[in-house]
Amino acid sequence: MATLALLELLAQLPESNIYVNPWKLVTAAVLFTLWVFIAQWIDRDTVVVNTFRTIWNVASIICGTVALLLLLLLPNFWAAIGAFALIHITFTLIYVVHRNGLVIEDDKVCTAAHLKRVMTEGFSGGKKKEQRDVKERVRITGADREVVKIPEEETEREQFALAQDLLFDTLWRRAHQVEVVPAGQASKIRVEIDGATSEREPVTRPEGDAILLFFKKVAGLNLEERRKPQKGQVMAALGDDHRYDVVVRTDGSTAGEKLTLRVIGEEKDYKVDDLGFTDKQLETMREAMNAEHGTILLSAPPGGGLSTSIYSFARSHDAFLQNIQMIEYERELVINNITQHIYKPSEEKTFLAELQRVVRTDPDVIVLPEIRERAAAPLAAKAATGKQIMYVALKSLDLFDALRRWAGMVGNAKSLAGSLLIVTHQRLVRRLCPSCKTPYKPDPATLQKINMSADKVLYRPPEPQYDKHGNPILCQNCHGTGYVGRTGVFNMLVVDDDLRKVIAGGGSLVDIKRAAMKRGGLGLQQQALQKVFDGTTSIEEVVRATRPPKTGAPKASKDRPSAA
3-state secondary structure 9-45: HHHHCCCCCCCCCHHHHHHHHHHHHHHHHHHHHHHHH
Residue 556: what pLDDT? 37
For residues 356 and 417, give the distance between their C-alpha atoms in angstroms, rounded to a whole number: 21
Kindly list the distances between the CA atom of residue 266 and the CA atoms of 149, 243, 260, 420, 448, in Å, as whole numbers in the listed order. Answer: 26, 9, 20, 31, 38
Instruction: Give residue-wise pLDDT tens across range 21-38.
Output: 666 677 777 777 888 888
Q: CA separation (Å) from 331 to 302, 335, 356, 382, 427?
A: 18, 10, 20, 25, 23
Low-confidence winner among 196-210, 488-502, 512-526 (lowest mean pLDDT): 512-526
Asked whether the beta carbons of 417 and 406 are under 8 A apart, the reply is no
Residue 12 pLDDT? 54
The distance from CA 473 to its chain's CA centroid, rounded to whole angstroms, is 33
Residue 456 main-chain phi, psi, to 5 deg: -70, 135
User: Over the stretch 9-20, which tens digit does the pLDDT of each residue have?
Assistant: 545 555 555 555
Taking a C-beta distance cutoff of 8 angstroms, is the pair 561, 403 a contact? yes
Cα angle 14, 20, 23 (rounded to 5 degrees) comes to: 125
| Angle of CA points 172, 173, 177, to nearest 5° | 110
Per the model's pLDDT, the better-predicted residue between 336 and 551 turns out to be 336
Task: List 494's β-bridge partners, or say none.
Answer: 422
Spatial contact of 357 and 341, defined as CB atoms under 8 Å apart: no
101-157 pLDDT, tens digit per residue, is: 776 676 777 777 777 776 776 555 444 445 567 888 999 999 999 999 988 888 888
Please compute the mean of the pLDDT values over residues 405-426 and round it to a whole number.
92
Helix H, strand E, coil C: the string for 348-360 is CCCHHHHHHHHHH
pTM for the full predicted model: 0.76
End-to-end CA distance of the chain: 89
